[in-house]
Amino acid sequence: MECLLAINDLHVGFRIFEGHLRVLNAVWLDVKEGERVGLVGETGCGKTTTVKSVLRVLPMPPARITGGQILYNGKDILKMTQRQMSMLRRHELTAIFQDPLQSLNPVFTIGTQLRDIVRDSAIGRGHRLTHREVESRCLEALRVTGMPDPERIMTNYPAQLSGGMRQRVCIAEALSTNARLMLADEPTTNLDVTIQDQILRKLDELVEEQGVSVVMITHSMGVVRDLTQRVNIMYAGTIIESGETRDLLESPQHPYTQGLMASVPKLTGEGISEGIPGRIPNYLDPPSGCRFHPRCERQMEICATSMPSLYTTAEGHRVACYLYGGTL
Amino acid sequence: MSKLPILTVDRLVKHFPTKAGLVRAVDDITFDVSTGDTLGLVGESGSGKTTTAQCVLGIYPPTSGRIVFEGAPIGVMFNRRNRELKRKIRIVFQDPGSSLNPKRTIKQILSVPLKVHGIGLKRERLTMMSRLLEMVELPATEYLYKYPQAIGGGEKQMVAIARALATNPRFIVLDEPTSALDVSVQGKIINLLMRLARELDLTYLFITHDLSLMRNVATQVAIMYLGKLCEIARTQEFFRTPLHPYTKMLLSSIPVVTDEEESLKPAKIVSKGEIPSPVNVPSGCSFHLRCPERMPICLESDPEMRVLDTGHLIRCHLYSP
């Protein structure tokens, strides 16, 4: 199947006063039509930078894309003009961010914001909607996200809604553009588990219905397991392991993924592992070779000198680690 | 349970009058914590977990009800408590980034509780501080003169724990100590806390919203909803037979990572609705709006807490005689 989104060997850096932050370092990611892909990593590993690069909303400078391609439907996003890019953002890509208070404008009502999006995306497709059509589509969009009393919500300001409600509004906005690819950047991290469960189930249902492809960015392994077919694990700006979700969670291969899985507290109550010693490296001066090697229990000599590429260990399972390939 | 309770909270009520109405943050809760136990107080945001902890600490005086610590009532404001009591009850906050003063070195941060409580002689304090840092597994020579911004989130939390330990406390309130941290760091902090509890014979009130974490940490779990307790049980018992519909909803909402865990969750209960505002508490059982097993009686009368044979405490009409 044709890839809808393919990120090939992306490198992104930031030039700041102290020097050059080399944040993204070999990010490989592909999303097929209708597929749901997870991107998992800890705080500061570059998940959001990746999303922002795809949307081309990274502030440049200080950010600089130093290598690689982002292909959307075969066309390189990084080479598009501003105009092409804004058309793409309007009709093809959509995003949900972690904090809905930052993605909703506090001084306009939900209705004003939603109507704009609905009207605008219809114009982009060549029809001009009447007032009544806009209104009914907005209400419908809110209703499908499971919002009680959408008429009232339309007249509310974001501050009048609860966190879960705001996130539902964001989902309604994201889906009302009929986009083909949704980038969901930690959409439920700030929410309580019961609300998270509701939102994720709704999202799952709607995405399935509309056939939207999703990149789900999160740090929760559980969320990824519930929602995605394939998952990519990211560490310090590098994709270190990717594979089918169930398969990868059951038998993680990279030492980092193994450590991560062992530190997730489980309902079976077998205790919690010590976690992974050390912390994420400083991007000003990242470790040479494999960026994980200073924290790795199974490091070898080669790990400090050269960076492993992604080796295929099983059907669809790839690991960037010298334990699984490479010439020694 | 043969051990004596170190802390008893008896019919604690804390209401806040506001312009919008009376906020019933904590509404008549009763529980006790035995010496050496870890009570996991679990609930969604806005359920009153933190207010409960703050009443225990004396940050707020209770509206009514009693808090008894080691046999003496302590339900008064912080400034009316004696120093000895303040020494015995300590807290570790959620976000170490904001609970440690960024303009003070770790040595200065750790010296405050020692000075305030007059622990040790001036010349002994440096050794005491080094020992505190070693207790939380940080090499003292390396960390004493650093500022909080120079160390990672997990390390900051360890310093916060060291500060709590400085006065040789009996009881520590842990207010979501790991929810601001990544899972790979969380493990270390939790294991550290558990080791300290064993070695120093500490008792914890562990506030969290993470039930899977409580499975591994707590000896007793209490579920709170809208200022009231729904269910309290020993951890084993609690996870083997969760009874309250809200507990079941919480458990079935947890995203888990293995099939084995999936099989431990109660049958899927579709989570619906949100926690209502504590200003307008629903009539009868406050959970009835979201409850999948609602009965007519739930709308009218609020169930009483009942003790089942297994030592399970539950507040639900389903289990009324």
Are residues A173 and A186 both part of a single domain?
Answer: no
CA distance B282 to A13: 53
Write the CB contacts of B121 (distance below 8 Å, at least 6 apart in sequence). Answer: none
Using the Cβ of B211 and the Cβ atoms of chain A, whether some distance falls under 8 Å is answered with: yes
Cβ pair B274:A164 closer than 8 A: yes
Alpha-carbon distance B76 to nearest alpha carbon in chain A (angstroms):
32
Residue among B187, B211, B257 whose CB faces A272 most closely: B187
What is the β-pairing status of strands B89-92 and B171-175? parallel
**Cβ neighbours of B253 in A, within 8 Å:** 193-194, 196-197
Three-state DSSP at B7 gives strand
Query: By residue range, what is the domain housing residue A27?
Result: 3-92+179-324
Are residues A87 and A105 both part of a single domain?
Answer: no
Cβ pair B261:A267 closer than 8 A: yes
Q: By CA distance, what is B249's nearest residue in A? A: A194
Instruction: Give the up-direction half-sphere exposure of residue B194: CA atoms within 13 A in the CB hemisphere.
Output: 16
Choosing from A145, A160, A178, the residue where a domain stops is: A178
CA distance B116 to B112: 6
Cα dihedral: B104, B107, B109, B110 (round 10): 180
Residues facing residue B18 across a β-bridge: B21
Three-state DSSP at B58 gives coil
CB atoms within 10 A of CB B95: 17
Instruction: Enter the DSSP assignment of A306.
Output: S
CATH superfamily for domain B5-319: P-loop containing nucleotide triphosphate hydrolases (3.40.50.300)
Write the CB contacts of A131 (distance below 8 Å, at least 6 apart in sequence). Answer: none
Choosing from A157, A178, A199, the residue where a domain stops is: A178
Q: What is the pLDDT of residue B106?
A: 92
| Sequence letter at residue B61 | P
Are residues A77 and A197 both part of a single domain?
Answer: yes
In this prediction, residues B80-84 reach a mean pLDDT of 83
Cβ pair A264:B183 closer than 8 A: yes
Residue among B187, B239, B249 whose CB faces A274 most closely: B187
A·B CB contacts under 8 A = 124
Are residues A79 and A145 both part of a single domain?
Answer: no
Are residues A122 and A251 both part of a single domain?
Answer: no
CB atoms within 10 A of CB B236: 13
Cβ pair B253:A269 closer than 8 A: no
Mutation target among A42, A165, A197 for the B interface, most CBs of B within 10 A: A197
Q: What is the pLDDT of residue A326?
A: 66
CB atoms within 10 A of CB A132: 8
Choosing from A136, A155, A178, the residue where a domain stops is: A178
**Cβ neighbours of A164 in B, within 8 Å:** 274
Helix, strand, coil content of chain A in percent (nearest 5): 40, 25, 35
Write the CB contacts of A227 (distance below 8 Å, at least 6 apart in sequence). Answer: A36, A38, A200, A203, A204, A214, A216
**How confident is the model over B25-79, as pLDDT tens digits?**
898 899 989 998 999 999 888 888 888 988 998 888 888 888 998 888 887 777 7
Are residues A205 and A280 both part of a single domain?
Answer: yes
Domains identified in chain A, total number: 2
Are residues A253 and A210 both part of a single domain?
Answer: yes
Structure tokens at A109: 């009502």
Alpha-carbon distance A23 to nearest alpha carbon in chain B (angstroms):
18
Helix axes A163-175, A131-144, angle to 10 degrees: 130
Cβ atoms of A6 and A30 closer than 8 Å: yes
Are residues A194 and A279 both part of a single domain?
Answer: yes
**How confident is the model over B151-181, as pLDDT tens digits?**
888 889 999 999 999 999 999 999 988 888 8
Using the Cβ of B35 and the Cβ atoms of chain A, whether some distance falls under 8 Å is answered with: no
Cβ atoms of A221 and A40 closer than 8 Å: yes
**How confident is the model over B219-270, as pLDDT tens digits?**
999 999 988 999 999 998 898 888 899 998 888 888 888 888 888 887 777 7
Alpha-carbon distance A37 to nearest alpha carbon in chain B (angstroms):
16
Cβ pair A195:B271 closer than 8 A: yes
Are residues A77 and A121 both part of a single domain?
Answer: no
Q: Is A2 exposed, middle or buried (0-12, 13-18, 19+ CB in 10 A)?
A: exposed
Are residues A19 and A144 both part of a single domain?
Answer: no
Cβ atoms of B88 and B119 closer than 8 Å: no
pLDDT tens over chain A, length 328 residues: 578 888 988 898 888 888 888 888 888 888 888 889 999 988 888 888 898 888 888 888 888 888 888 888 888 888 888 888 888 888 888 888 888 888 888 999 998 998 988 888 888 777 888 888 888 888 888 888 777 788 888 888 988 887 778 888 888 888 888 788 888 888 887 778 888 888 888 888 888 888 888 999 988 888 888 889 999 999 888 898 999 988 888 888 888 898 888 888 888 877 777 878 877 888 888 888 888 888 888 888 888 888 888 888 888 888 888 888 765 4
**How confident is the model over B100-144, as pLDDT tens digits?**
999 999 999 999 999 998 888 888 899 999 999 998 888 888 889
Alpha-carbon distance A267 to nearest alpha carbon in chain B (angstroms):
5
**Cβ neighbours of A263 in B, within 8 Å:** 183-184, 186-187
Whether pLDDT at B3 is above 80: no
Whether pLDDT at B308 is above 50: yes
Give residue for tokens 């080669």: A302
Alpha-carbon distance B235 to nearest alpha carbon in chain A (angstroms):
10
CA distance A138 to A122: 12
Helix axes B183-200, B153-165, angle to 10 degrees: 20
Are residues A290 and A189 both part of a single domain?
Answer: yes
Q: What is the pLDDT of residue A123?
A: 80
CB atoms within 10 A of CB B121: 8
Alpha-carbon distance A234 to nearest alpha carbon in chain B (angstroms):
14
What is the pLDDT confidence band of residue B1, given thresholds at 50, 70 and 90?
very low
Using the Cβ of B249 and the Cβ atoms of chain A, whether some distance falls under 8 Å is answered with: yes
Are residues A27 and A137 both part of a single domain?
Answer: no
Cβ pair A249:B261 closer than 8 A: no
CB atoms within 10 A of CB B71: 9
Q: For position A249, which CATH number holds?
A: 3.40.50.300
